[in-house]
Structure 1
Amino acid sequence: MVATLLHEIPLQGGDVTDGVVRVGDTVRRPVSPSTPAVHALLRHLEAAGFDGAPRVVGMDGLGREILTYVPGTTGLGLVTVTDEALVRLAELLRDFHDATEGFPLTRDGWEGGSNDDAAPEVIGHCDLTLENVIFRDGRPRALIDFDLARPTTRLFDVVTTLRHWAPIADPVDLAPLQRGLDVGARLRLFCDAYGVPPRDRRRLLELARLRFQRSYTVMRGRAAAGGSWARMWAGGAGERIRRAAAWLDKHEDKLHAHLVS
């Protein structure tokens, strides 16, 4: 048990976890049913030499988990929408997936959520929003907030990441910096950098549509229980998913051509 320090700095950003604070060079977070599985994953990543994730320190006197603080910046900015950042993120995600190999995919205790119908291949982060990627020196360096990690396919985690970073979304829901991006070209660039094989590229948009359908259902169910999920739903999360799915339907042929040409 690690003693609790007094000076706590609330960490803003993200949508789901309340009560996250920084204490010195550590982050304190409330535990959840998935905490043991996430800690096992983070320890596996450390043993595998993957340095793009926080380390587990222990628990504090208030029953919160203690992780190392990963310095850097998150969120939308000029540097995060560059092609160079997208390439590095694809490489970082591939490195993460490779590092999870050997971790038991049959382990229980994950948060759960929407998923692929194919058999799991890796542990996916499954929530790589702009707030969950740490940038330093203009490049993505680390992934944080593994609360929604779970066994899945590589392609599902790629699709989940591209939802936010291509982005696959109705422009009405995007910040000005993202509205002028060439989504099809960015899909291709990410897949090239990650090394997504041709068979998966042909299935990518189909899986994106399936994810929209299932994410809507999952979020609606979680919102009924209240808390952060309810706030996200009340803030229009469901409507944004529906608009993104409609935008994908409208532009699918053009996007698909970038992936298979």
Structure 2
Amino acid sequence: MSEVFAEGPEEPLLGGDVTEGLVRVGDTVRRPPSAVSGAVEVVLRHLEAVGFEGAPRFLGRDGRGRDVLSFVDGEVAGRPWPDRIADEERLRSLARLLRGYHDAVAPLGLPEAVLAVPQPAPDGLPARTAGEPELVGHRDVTPENVVFRMGRAVALIDFDLLGPVTRVEELANLLLWWGPWMPEADRGPALRGADPARRARIAVDAYGLPETDRARLLPVSVNLADRSWHLMRWRAEHVGGGWARMWREGVGDRIERRRAWLEQQGESLLA
């Protein structure tokens, strides 16, 4: 059911890869409905109920059927990513925010609304190796999806890729972008020259990841790269839009280079 929300000028919100039609209206964000809308509502309402402040509030749907969320004020990185994303204190605060999100969402379990979100299973897709999912993960912790204030990560936004994960998978996703666990040539200028092993240690220490799980980060990262290649190609072919654009721009090649880099750097990363 749609609700009555104040209307006004619509300011396009840019910076993501695939979401279209995202706008700000006053202190709200309006998003076109999608197959994941119901799951996002369940997760965000749960986070509000348990008092987690690090995510938008799901407010309802407007007269055009769009999802309405609260606007989270602060700094969000655009592209090219600003130099500030290399700051180690920002990385520590992000890892703590992710831990807080996981601890807040874990009691929800894996609700039917999340399990019902269609998940592509293209031919050749490798099986997950991370183990049984523990909670509903964000799964897209990129600089565009983290809000900072005064140099501290305060909120995760854009839950369109949420789904069942282990904590190790979520840390691997964080390290992909913030580590950065990829060849130097494929990193943005802000993170060229960064030490991916040092930044990984900073993140897992701040998160509080157990030692036994740290040893799993590398094989899980390789598995995620393998799966990502197949899923990105499938979405490019069957969904189109931003997915197709990213594939045309060579994301498949970058994923293959990342996988090779992870295997080449494995010993130093684990150490």
Pairwise TM-score range, normalised by the shorter structure:
over 0.9
Bigger mean CA offset, 3-12 vs 40-49 = 3-12
Match of 2:123? Answer: none
Inter-partner Cα distance in structure 2 for 1:72 and 1:156: 27
Q: Which runs of 4+ in 1 moved over 2 A?
A: 76-79, 108-117
Tell me which residue corresponds to 1:109: 116
Which residue of structure 2 aligns with residue 201 of structure 1?
Answer: 214
CA drift of 1:157 comes to 0.6
Structure 2: unaligned runs, 5 residues or longer: 121-126
Name the SS for the 2:116 alignment partner. coil
Partner of 2:103: 98
The TM-score normalised by the length of structure 2 is 0.91
CA contact under 8 A between 1:123 and 1:150: conserved in structure 2? Answer: yes
Displacement of 1:194: 0.6
Q: Residue type of the partner of 2:37?
A: T
Q: Is the 8 A contact 1:128 1:161 kept in 2?
A: yes
SS of structure 1 residue aligned to 2:216: helix
> RMSD of aligned C-alpha atoms?
1.5
Aligned residue among 60, 66, 89 for 1:64: 66
State the secondary structure of the residue aligned to 2:215. helix
Whether the aligned pair in 1 keeps the contact of 2:8 and 2:26 (CA below 8 Å) is: no
SS at structure 2 position matched to 1:52: coil
* 1:111–1:149 CA contact under 8 A, matched in 2: no
The aligned counterpart of 1:240 is 254
- 1:153 is aligned to 166
Mapping of residues 10-159 of structure 1, within 5 Å: 10-75=12-77, 76-107=81-112, 108-110=115-117, 112=119, 116-159=129-172
Write the distance in 2 (CA, Å) between the matches of 1:54 and 1:221: 30
Q: Which residue of 2 aligns with 1:251?
A: 265
Q: Does the CA-based 8 Å contact 1:111-1:150 persist in structure 2? A: no
For 2:124, the equivalent position in structure 1 comes to none
Percent sequence identity over aligned pairs: 47
- Matched residue pairs, number? 257
Is the 8 Å Cα contact of residues 13 and 131 (structure 1) preserved in structure 2? yes
Which stretch shifts more, 78-87 or 125-134?
A: 78-87
Q: Distance in 2 between matches of 1:251 and 1:92?
A: 27
- TM-score of the two chains, using structure 1 as the length reference: 0.94
Q: How does 1:170-181 map to 2 (within 5 A)?
A: 170-181=183-194
Distance in 2 (alpha carbons) for counterparts of 1:9 and 1:94: 32
